[in-house]
Amino acid sequence: HNLGIIITTTTRKLILRAKNAMQMYDIIYNISEAQKLCPYTQLHRFMSFAPVRPGSKVNFFTDGQDYFSRMHDALIEAKNEVYITGWWVSPELYLKRPVIEGIKNEDTRLDRVLGQIAKNGVKIYILVYKEVTFALPNDSLYTEQALEALHPNIEVVRHPDEIISLWSHHEKLVIIDQQVAFMGGLDLCYGRMDNHKHPLVDLGEGKECMFPGIDYSNAREGDFKEVRNHKKDGADRQSTPRMPWHDVAFCVEGDPVRDLVRHFVQYWSFAKVDIGSKHVREILATKPSDFAMNTTMESKKSRKEKEPFRHVRSGSQGIGTALWKKKATQVMEMNKERKERNQKKFEDYIKRLRESTNAVMLVPEYGSVREVKPAKQQIKDRNLASETQLGTGFLTTHPNETHEILGPRDMNIPSVQNLLDPAAIEPKLVLSLIHI
């Protein structure tokens, strides 16, 4: 029995196998319903892939000092996973300033923060632009080597894998535990840290530096060089003013973070496939979401009931993974409307059974009746779910009436002994459903 469906995308193929035709139709039905409810199957305001998400918490930042400081505080609280994208990621970037060597803010250096949370079990995924080496000094190879050497929980992907590309990854995104996200115009790299005063000089007097080492720079005078040598000043502090960096960014909590997670997961998966990576350690996916297509101020409970697809986390590893990856046919759930409709039909059948006075016959949709037994022997110590094998068939209580009966997968079913109480009715015989 080769029943099922094949879902094909530009990068991969997913096969959902079904045990029988009924299960296959059930999968198709639920996929169709999910497509109607999914917020990502149509364009939204400003041609966005995601709808407006009301009730979110957003903090805006101008310049880098407060932004990076808030990011540091969120990173050290990470429990499960961290997603990072960037045009340039500098491992030795200090997230809090000023810095006094060996005394103040030394532990806020990016590589030290990521290394510590990775040792605590946090999975860290970093997607960084692989620069054209003869044109840009980013040295993404060093970024990959330096960060992955910290702990096995850190994985860095450089993309694209081309000698010369006419484009670059320019996103700057940090997502923590799929609950809070930082995004804007500030890369986690040298030259981006600044504050509202935009100081042009930092002589490092008293060993307190706002811009230590290579972070004291002036790209107008000369671009970064030898970024691995991060302790060397990027410009002469005695003769060259540093170049200020004025930019904006924000921190967001709430449903928009789910949209950013979905984007990162697709971004990461595409990059891995595009570069032909053979060391796919984890399958990334979003955590269970509480929102569906309707973005009005409805309750979370009602939104969950409308969502036919659910996802689960992959245990202690902390990386969300889709349940359908392991057991696809079990994740399809009937939506609320279908459940109520089937429950109503089934209650009607129960009523007809209770009211019957002559005979009750259950006939399967596929195959033929297996055997006939006296009613009391047939129903002894059984319930309707096992008797029908969750099948589909027809119920007849009168010679000229035939009614559809649907599989009671998710209904509250009374036992047959209670349903066909001999004190209430006296059915003459019951025809057993064959196994479908």
pLDDT tens per residue across span 82-91: 999 999 999 9
Closest CA to 30 of 331, 296, 423, 249: 331
Regions in the chain scoring below 50 on pLDDT: 290-332, 364-436
User: Bridge partners of 99?
Assistant: 209
How confident is the model at residue 404, as a pLDDT?
35
What is the DSSP annotation of 231-300? Answer: TS-SS-TTT-PPPP---EEEEEESHHHHHHHHHHHHHHHHHHHHTT-S-------PPPP---S--SS--H
Distances (CA, A) of 287 to 295, 322, 393: 18, 9, 38
Distances (CA, A) of 424 to 151, 306, 381: 70, 39, 18
How confident is the model at residue 256, as a pLDDT?
94
- Pairwise CA distance, residues 45 & 245, whole Å: 31
How confident is the model at residue 27, as a pLDDT?
86
Radius of gyration over alpha carbons of the chain, in Å?
Answer: 31
How confident is the model at residue 415, as a pLDDT?
38
- Pairwise CA distance, residues 327 & 27, whole Å: 12
Predicted model pTM: 0.65
- pLDDT digits over 98-113, tens only? 999 888 999 999 999 9
